[in-house]
C-alpha cells in the first residue's frame, strides 16, 4: 500500500504533481490511521483505490489529491479550513464538493432528492466533483458484500438508476459498464444467475472462432498498406447482455446475440477507419442493416466508432468495431479524456468542458423549476429526461436535437422552441409525413410544420414524453383557455 501505486499510473507526472499527491496520501493515511473498513481492511485502502481510478482517467494531480482526501472531513472531522491551508483553495473546493454529497445518507426519497440536487449543482460548478464521486462509488460497489444486507439493495439501486446513467451521459463507457455489472446481482439475483448459466462455455467457444478471423483480418489490413493498427477483442458487459435479452427480436435466445465478443480495430486516423471497413466488407459479407457509422454521426454522449456485423469464417456472425486511438480513449474515459482546467477564476468556475456537457446546465436550470416536496416528479423526470438512453435526431439544416429514447415529434418540436411546439401542425420524418406522436429513432431527419394560431391539444400531454414538452403544453393551454365562469 503505497503512493507509488498512483504515481505509476500517470503518464508524465511533474515533480510538483508527485509532491502534491504524496502530501495528500500521507495526510489521509495519518487521518484514517485508526479506522477500518467493514471488510476489516485499513480505511486508507478506500481513498487510495478512489485516487487510483482518478489516475487511470489521467486527470490532474489536484483532482487525485482531492480523491485521497475526500473522506477526511466527513469521517475524521477535519475542518475544511485545514485542507485549504495545507492544500490550497482548489483542492479544498473539490473535497468540500464531494463531502457535501456524502453528508446525506439516502434514508428516504426527500433526502435522496435533496442530495441529487446538490450533486448536480456541484457538477455544474466543477465537473471533477462527479469524477471523484463516481470513483468513490466504484470502490464502494466492489466491496458491497461487506455492507449489511438491508443496505446492499438500496445502494445497488442508487448505482443502477443514478450513477451508471451519469457515467453514460459523461461518455465514460468503462465506468458505466462496471457499475451496472456490480449492481446487477444485488438487484436481479435470479436473472444474474440465469445469464451466467447461459454464458457457460460461450466465451471460450467465441474466442476460438475469432482466432482465425483475427489472423486473416490482420494479414489483409497489412496487405493493403496499413501498418499502424491493433486488433483486440471486447467482451460484452453482463448487465448490457441482460438488457439486450429483453428485446423482442432477441427473445432470451443467446444465439441471437452477435456481439458477445466483438473484434475491435484501432487505427491511426479517420481515413483508415473507412479504409478498413472496405477491406472487411471485401473479405466477408455484412449483415443487412447492421452497419452503423457513429463517426459521421456520433452518439449524444460523444461516442464515435464504425460498427459492422459480418458472416466471418465458417459463417460465424461477428461484430467488428473500428475507431481511432483518440476515439477509443473517449469511448473508455468520455469527457475526462479531453477535460481541461482554466487557471483563471479558480476554483469556483471549475472545469471547462466540451459542449456535449450542456445537459448538466440544462439539468440545473430544470431542477430550479421543480418545487420542493415534488419528490416523485423530480426522480421520475430525472430518469426519463436526463438518464434514459438517448436518441439523436436532426433538423433539416443538420442541427442535432438530443432526446430521450421514446420521444416523439412533439418532443422534438418543443426541444427546438416553445413557439414551434405550440404551433406544430404536422411533421415530416426522413421526408415522409407522419403523425406528431410518431416515436423518433436515431438519425431521423425531422421537419416540423407550423400553423398560425394553432394551439396544443389536450391529447398532446399523453403523447409527449419529455417534461419540457409537457410543461410548455400545460402553459400554452392555460394561457389560451378562457376562464370558466360559474353559472
Residues with catalytic function: 74-75
Q: Which residues contact 133 (CB under 8 A, 6 or more apart)?
A: 98, 101, 119, 163
Q: Where are the alpha helices (DSSP H) in 325-451?
A: 325-333, 358-369, 375-381, 409-416, 418-422
313 neighbors 56 (Cβ within 8 angstroms): no
Q: 112: phi > 0 → left, psi -120 to 50 → alpha, else beta; which?
A: alpha
Burial grade of 58 (CB within 10 A; 0-12, 13-18, 19 or more): middle
Rounded distance between C-alpha atoms, residue 477 and residue 454, angstroms:
11
Q: Which helix H or strand E contains 318, and what residues bound it?
A: strand 317-324
| Residue 58, CB-side half-sphere exposure with 13 Å CA sphere | 13
Which has the closest alpha carbon to 339: 86, 179, 132? Answer: 132
Which has the closest alpha carbon to 386: 166, 179, 177? Answer: 166
Rounded distance between C-alpha atoms, residue 232 and residue 215, angstroms:
11
Integer Rg of the chain from CA: 25
Taking each helix axis from N to C terminus, what angle separates 270-283 and 202-223, rounded to the nearest 10 degrees? 110
Amino acid at each position: 500500500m503505497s503512493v507509488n501505486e498512483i504515481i505509476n499510473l500517470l503518464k508524465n507526472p511533474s515533480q510538483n504533481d508527485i509532491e502534491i499527491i504524496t502530501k495528500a496520501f500521507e495526510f489521509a493515511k495519518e487521518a484514517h490511521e485508526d479506522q477500518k473498513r467493514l471488510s476489516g481492511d485499513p480505511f486508507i485502502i478506500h481513498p487510495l483505490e478512489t485516487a487510483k481510478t482518478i489516475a487511470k482517467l489521467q486527470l490532474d494531480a489536484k483532482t487525485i489529491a482531492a480523491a485521497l482526501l475526500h473522506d477526511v472531513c466527513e469521517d475524521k472531522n477535519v475542518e475544511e479550513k485545514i485542507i485549504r491551508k495545507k492544500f490550497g483553495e482548489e483542492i479544498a473546493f473539490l473535497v468540500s464538493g464531494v463531502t457535501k454529497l456524502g453528508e446525506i445518507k439516502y434514508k428516504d426519497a426527500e433526502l435522496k432528492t435533496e442530495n441529487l440536487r446538490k450533486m448536480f449543482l456541484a457538477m455544474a460548478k466543477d465537473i471533477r466533483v462527479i469524477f471523484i464521486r463516481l470513483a468513490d462509488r466504484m470502490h464502494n460497489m466492489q466491496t458491497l458484500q461487506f455492507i449489511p444486507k438491508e443496505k446492499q439493495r438500496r445502494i445497488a439501486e442508487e448505482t443502477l438508476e443514478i450513477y451508471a446513467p451519469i457515467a453514460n451521459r459523461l461518455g465514460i463507457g468503462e465506468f458505466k459498464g462496471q457499475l451496472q455489472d456490480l449492481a446487477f446481482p444485488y438487484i436481479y439475483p435470479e436473472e444474474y444467475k440465469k445469464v451466467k448459466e447461459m454464458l457457460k462455455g460461450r466465451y471460450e467457444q467465441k474466442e476460438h472462432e475469432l482466432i482465425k478471423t483475427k489472423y486473416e483480418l490482420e494479414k489483409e489490413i497489412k496487405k493493403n498498406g496499413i501498418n499502424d493498427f491493433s486488433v483486440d477483442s471486447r467482451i460484452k458487459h453482463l448487465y448490457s447482455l441482460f438488457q439486450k435479452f429483453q428485446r423482442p427480436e432477441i427473445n432470451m435466445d443467446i444465439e441471437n446475440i452477435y456481439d458477445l465478443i466483438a473484434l475491435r480495430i484501432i487505427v491511426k486516423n479517420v481515413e483508415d477507419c473507412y479504409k478498413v471497413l472496405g477491406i472487411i466488407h471485401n473479405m466477408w459479407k455484412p449483415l443487412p442493416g447492421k452497419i452503423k457509422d457513429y463517426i459521421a454521426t456520433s452518439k449524444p454522449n460523444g461516442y464515435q466508432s464504425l460498427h459492422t456485423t459480418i458472416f466471418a469464417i465458417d459463417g460465424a456472425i461477428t461484430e467488428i468495431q473500428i475507431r481511432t486511438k483518440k476515439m477509443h480513449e473517449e469511448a473508455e474515459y468520455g469527457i475526462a479524456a479531453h477535460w481541461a482546467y482554466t487557471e483563471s477564476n479558480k476554483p469556483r468556475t471549475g472545469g471547462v468542458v466540451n459542449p456535449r456537457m450542456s445537459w448538466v446546465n440544462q439539468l440545473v436550470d430544470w431542477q430550479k423549476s421543480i418545487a420542493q416536496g415534488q419528490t416523485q416528479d423530480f426522480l421520475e423526470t430525472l430518469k426519463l429526461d436526463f438518464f434514459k438512453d438517448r436518441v439523436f435526431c436532426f433538423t433539416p439544416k443538420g442541427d442535432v436535437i438530443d432526446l430521450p429514447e421514446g420521444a416523439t415529434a412533439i418532443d422534438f418540436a418543443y426541444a427546438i422552441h416553445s413557439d414551434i411546439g405550440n404551433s406544430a401542425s404536422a411533421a415530416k420524418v426522413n421526408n415522409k409525413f407522419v403523425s406528431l406522436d410518431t416515436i423518433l429513432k436515431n438519425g431521423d431527419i425531422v421537419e416540423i410544420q407550423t400553423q398560425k394560431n394553432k394551439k396544443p391539444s389536450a391529447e398532446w400531454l399523453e403523447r409527449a414524453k419529455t417534461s419540457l414538452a409537457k410543461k410548455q403544453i400545460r402553459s400554452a393551454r392555460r394561457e389560451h383557455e378562457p376562464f370558466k365562469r360559474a353559472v
